[in-house]
Amino acid sequence: MAYDDALIVGYLTQAQQTPLLTDREKHLVGLAVTMTRGCQVCTRNRIEKIRAAGVSDDVLNALVGIVSAVNAGVTAATAREAFRMADSALPEPCGELCSADVPRHGPNA
């Protein structure tokens, strides 16, 4: 069965239509997400779009610093907890967030 991206496209459309964030803020969040995901092509495309929107490289470099710091913190916290779990006497289940058995939504669920 082919992948159906209707649910994701709906989420993206809804997110882009929110009046609660400016276009500049949406661009910055989008760039932060693509950097976190590690997609160099998507990151380049986002950089081109945000530059075209008038955001300076000084702002982009500040964003890179923030994203790097947050991701370093998440990495350190994940490792700390993994070490704690590895040293505990009883194994802990991963839970729903990491489970492949999480219920799926949409027409192909």
Burial of 28 from C-beta contacts in 10 A (0-12 / 13-18 / 19+): buried
- Residue 108: predicted pLDDT: 47
Backbone angles phi, psi at 4, to 5 degrees: -115, 110
| pLDDT tens string 11-69 | 888 888 999 999 999 999 999 999 999 999 999 999 999 999 999 999 999 999 999 99
pLDDT at 6 over 80: yes
For the chain, the domains span: 18-86
pLDDT at 72 over 60: yes
- Residue 101: predicted pLDDT: 60
- Cα 36 to chain centroid distance, Å, stands at 6
User: Rounded to whole angstroms, what are the CA distances from 3 to 8, 18, 69, 100, 106?
Assistant: 11, 27, 35, 17, 11
Query: How far is the C-alpha of 48 from the C-alpha of 34, rounded, in Å?
Result: 13
Please report where in the chains the tokens 């500049």 appear, as a residue. 24
Fold adopted by 18-86:
AhpD-like (1.20.1290)
| Most confident among 11-15, 85-89, 92-96 (mean pLDDT) | 11-15
